[in-house]
Amino acid sequence: MKQVMVVYGTRPEAVKMAPLIRALEASSVLNPIVVSTGQHREMMDQVNQWFGITPDLDLKVFHPGATLTELAARILQELPKVLTERRPDAVVVQGDTTTVAIAAIACFYHNIPVVHLEAGLRSGDIHSPFPEEANRKLAGQVTALHLAPTTLSRDNLLREGIDPAIVSVVGNTVIDALHWTAEQVVTFTDPRIAALAGEERRIVLLTTHRRENLGEPMRRIGRAVAQLAAARPDTVFVFPAHKNPKVREEILPLFADHDNILVCEPLDYAEFVHVQKLAYLILTDSGGVQEEAPSLGKPVLVLRDNTERPEAVDAGTVKLIGTTTERIVAEVDVLLDDPAVYKAMSTAVNPYGDGLAGERSAAAIAELLNVGKRMPEFDVQGN
């Protein structure tokens, strides 16, 4: 059995790694070694429990208030010990976090093949999103197998001179996780969230946490939602407040006087999927939500000026609207008031996956390690 180490530290990474870990566990030639860096401890533990995953090792590198530099230094100090002890045949990293960039470099120094899940996403701006764009580009330079979610992400890699032979289009594992989770029965811990299932008013879901949106952009977002709430008592606005105190300081005071803005603690993964199902539309700066919501038939207005996920924009299910108060209010008004525009966005085809990305990824890793062959690549057209 080939030993495949899977390294992750945040909730989004855990969600997207879960289908691959399950596929590795089902393999007759690959064995997963699950390593947590503990970057998002509480939220990541919820995901692990939901998918029945128990990390084999916990690096415990994160502490409250740690800077990105301190986090990177701790990972680079602790991960090599595990690599030396376990000697994996390959190491999988996912996405664009600090864990991804630093773990990839550590593996390269140890001459261990790096597999990058969700490879090839590019915004074209090294500073936005920050530090994610730099993280994924750094990891890409030392990757032995690029598992690209779409043909567009593959093309990004080829333009950077990556050998096509080490790129495989597998779809996005977030869709695998979403399909399974959406079919499960979920019990909400917050009774106010549970009550949304019987809510007759339309629900607008808001999530925002990006570093580049802190400060005035965050306040503009808050003012827009406050204006919308005041003008639309027939609509409920739901805001799971990110743990980052800077997010809360900027935005929560703006919501204090509005009874139809429901502020709650961060939802666990399964709860959040089911709140997305209840929502009429979604306002977000999250990359994962841009991928998930189209599969649930929900229009997404992205609170950013650019995105590394243009496929959904091209498909028509996602729209970039930036962070100006006036633009946000205007775009939400259109979706709430114009059924034709809403229908066009909510019925667009999701370009990100078909639920088999985990299996395709495991097969591609088996081929990399000379113990299997790849599956046919993901094709959004189904060809």
Q: Is residue 90 within 8 Å of 368, Cβ to Cβ?
A: yes
Whose tokens are 């995901």? That residue is: 47
Question: Distance between CA atoms of 290 and 174, rounded to whole angstroms?
Answer: 11
Question: Is 242 an active-site residue?
Answer: yes
Question: Is 132 an active-site residue?
Answer: yes
The one catalytic residue in 41, 86, 110, 211 is 211
The one catalytic residue in 118, 133, 292, 311 is 118
How far apart are the two ends of the chain, measured CA to CA in Å? 33
The one catalytic residue in 132, 176, 308, 331 is 132
The one catalytic residue in 209, 210, 232, 309 is 209
Question: Distance between CA atoms of 35 and 5, rounded to whole angstroms?
Answer: 7
Question: Is 118 an active-site residue?
Answer: yes
Question: Is 87 an active-site residue?
Answer: no
Q: Give the 3-state DSSP-derived string for the chain, with helices as H, strands as E and coil as C.
A: CEEEEEEECCHHHHHHHHHHHHHHHHCCCEEEEEEECCCCHHHHHHHHHHHCCCCCEECCCCCCCCCHHHHHHHHHHHHHHHHHHHCCCEEEEECCCHHHHHHHHHHHHCCCCEEEECCCCCCCCCCCCCCHHHHHHHHHCCCCEEEECCHHHHHHHHHCCCCHHHEEECCCHHHHHHHHHHCCCCCCCCHHHHHHHHCCCEEEEEECCCHHHCCHHHHHHHHHHHHHHHHCCCEEEEEECCCCHHHHHHHHHHHCCCCCEEEECCCCHHHHHHHHHHCCEEEECCHHHHHHHHHHCCCEEECCCCCCCHHHHHHCCEEECCCCHHHHHHHHHHHHHCHHHHHHHHCCCCCCCCCCHHHHHHHHHHHHCCCCCCCCCCCCCCC
Question: Is 96 an active-site residue?
Answer: yes
Question: Distance between CA atoms of 76 and 362, rounded to whole angstroms?
Answer: 26
Question: Is 85 an active-site residue?
Answer: no
The one catalytic residue in 13, 89, 96, 331 is 96
The one catalytic residue in 219, 242, 248, 258 is 242
Task: Tell me the catalytic residues.
Answer: 96, 118, 132, 209, 211, 242
